[in-house]
Amino acid sequence: MMKSATSCLLLFCAALTSAKVAAAPTTHMGCLDAVAQGHRTLRLESMATAPATAPQSTHPWPFPPLSIGHTSASYQNYSGEPYFHHGLDVRGAAGTPILAAVGGRVTNIENYIPGVSAYWEIAVLDDEGYLWQYHHVEKASIPADVWNSWRNGGRVETGAKLGEIFRWGNSSYGERYDHLHLNVIAAGGTFMSPFLFLENLPDNAAPAIMAAGVLQNGRALDEGGHDEVVGPYSLYATIHDLILHDKYVVPPHRIEIAIDGGASELVWDFQTLPGKTNINIDVEDFFVPAMTCGDYTCRQLTIDLGFVPSGRHGNSPTEQGEKSTLRGFPTTPGQHNAVITAWDFAGNSVSKMIEWTVIKPS
């Protein structure tokens, strides 16, 4: 049985600490932000009471973003077990003050991967009932009044300084990757897209569909050519988006597909994660593993357009825990087509038509 991403990362970080390699350039590689499960999930995420729907109001950013390094939809694979990123990496220079995007009760200050100084969290429960988790705060920069608010069950107000961005141990694409990882959590521990809660960023560029075509046995047949299909198949699209940057590729926010001129069908909309509370569920069903990577040096995001979340087929609930199933694609011999449409959070969209031919088996 595969371990959770958290257990793998905790073991990896513990190994780094015991080996005394804290000063190495890749100190934090592989120790990326899987929120602790088990007792921590019950203790913290259960504090959120707001429904997993769009909030009533939006809030200022904790600081002006240099760029968005990852979204909640981003594919992460640093230690052999992929997971959805589940929040936003908001890039800023080390030492940049982190301000509370919204006021609320301070519910946690914690070194959530013990012994690794990059992993300090401040959690704030806002008045609507959403839990905000600010990760990668420099411990020494946390003000005394924030510590006192946590110890005494007190509040911080919107715009209050929570601390400063930790100096990260890695660079990516030739740039330092100092950043705040921001989670917003709703009732039941559901991870929400922080974009829903924050003021709009300037973003006028649509995502790009880099390639699309027929998928068989986890591989592209012809990467967008006029494919001839025999036997079971799905469709794929490699879709990249950029937010305030020219290299930090992120997935689209929403994907739909329309087959043979029919109505558009939703593949997924990342207001929440497919697994809601679990960052591992469905990641290798939504993304095509053999055609996807996500780490400090490689970002390619290929989506299986036949994706249907675990436990559901279309809009009809099925047995809890059922493995993801593929939506049905045409099996009638002859030519078929599909229009793929992808949106970013700002509403910019791109569409692409692909064609293929189903060959009747001999």
Give the separation between CA 22 and CA 169, rounded to whole angstroms.
Answer: 9
Domain-ending residue, one of 145, 176, 197: 197
178 and 237, same domain (yes or no): no
Domain match, 22 and 110 both: yes
Distance of CA 226 to the CA centre of its chain: 32
The answer to whether position 202 is within a domain reads no
Domain that holds residue 212: 208-358
Are 45 and 192 in contact by the 8 Å Cβ rule? The answer is no
β partners of residue 250: 241
CA-CA distance, 257 to 235, in Å (whole number)? Answer: 10
Cα 100 from Cα 144, distance rounded (Å): 15
Domain of 157, CATH number, reads: 2.70.70.10
Q: Is residue 203 in a domain?
A: no
pLDDT tens track of the chain, all 362 residues?
333 444 444 333 433 333 333 332 333 333 444 443 333 444 566 689 999 988 888 999 999 999 999 999 999 998 788 999 999 999 999 999 999 999 999 999 999 888 899 999 999 999 999 999 999 999 999 999 999 999 999 999 999 999 999 998 788 888 889 999 999 999 999 999 999 999 999 998 999 999 999 999 889 987 545 678 888 899 999 999 999 999 999 999 999 999 999 999 999 999 999 999 999 999 999 999 999 999 888 999 999 999 998 765 343 333 344 444 568 899 999 999 999 999 999 999 999 999 999 998 75
- Of 140, 166, 197, the position where a domain reaches its end is 197
Which of 44, 35, 42, 34 is CA-nearest to residue 150?
A: 44
User: Is 20 inside a domain boundary?
Assistant: yes
Domain endpoint, select from 197, 226, 255: 197
Q: pTM of the predicted model, to two decimals?
A: 0.85
Token match 């939506």: residue? 327
- DSSP per-residue codes, 243-297: SS-SS--B--SEEEEEETT--EEEEEETTB-TTTT-SSTTHHHHB-GGG-EESSS
Residues 128 and 223 occupy one common structural domain:
no
Looking at the fold, whether 251 and 130 belong to one and the same domain comes out as no
Taking residue 313's Cβ as centre, other Cβ atoms within 10 Å add up to: 15
62 domain-assigned: yes
Q: How many domains does the chain have?
A: 2
Residue 176 sits in the same domain as residue 212? no
